[in-house]
Amino acid sequence: MKTCPRCGQSGLHRVSLTALDNRVVYLCEECDSLWDTQDEIRDEAAYVDFTQYMQKNGITASWQQVKMLD
Ligand SMILES: [Zn+2]
């Protein structure tokens, strides 16, 4: 687990989203910030809200769709 650039807490996970064909992103379990990147976070300010990200893809966000990779 890494430190989240947004909230500063150690809740940042590399995850796959089962509802989006196991797309790999970074997601903070503390503040629900999501970085749409597979490898590393290059732009710390380029986060979106997990709920909004899933809504944009037509899906109601749920942590049941999140599979932790590390
Ligand atoms: Zn956070």
pLDDT at residue number 67: 97
What is the average pLDDT value for the chain, to the nearest integer?
96
* Cα 21 to middle of ligand 1, angstroms: 24
Residue 4 predicted with pLDDT over 90 = yes
pTM value > 0.85: yes
How many whole angstroms from its chain centre is CA 67? 10
Tens digit of each residue's pLDDT (9 = 90 or more) over 45-59: 999 999 999 999 999
Report pLDDT for 70: 80
Tokens 């992103």, residue located = 25
CA 41 to ligand 1 center in whole angstroms: 13
- What pLDDT shows up at residue 1? 75
How many whole angstroms from 31 Cα to the centroid of ligand 1? 4
Q: What is the mean pLDDT of residues 2-26?
A: 97
CA–CA distance, 31 with 13 (Å, rounded to integer): 12
Strand, coil or helix: 52: helix
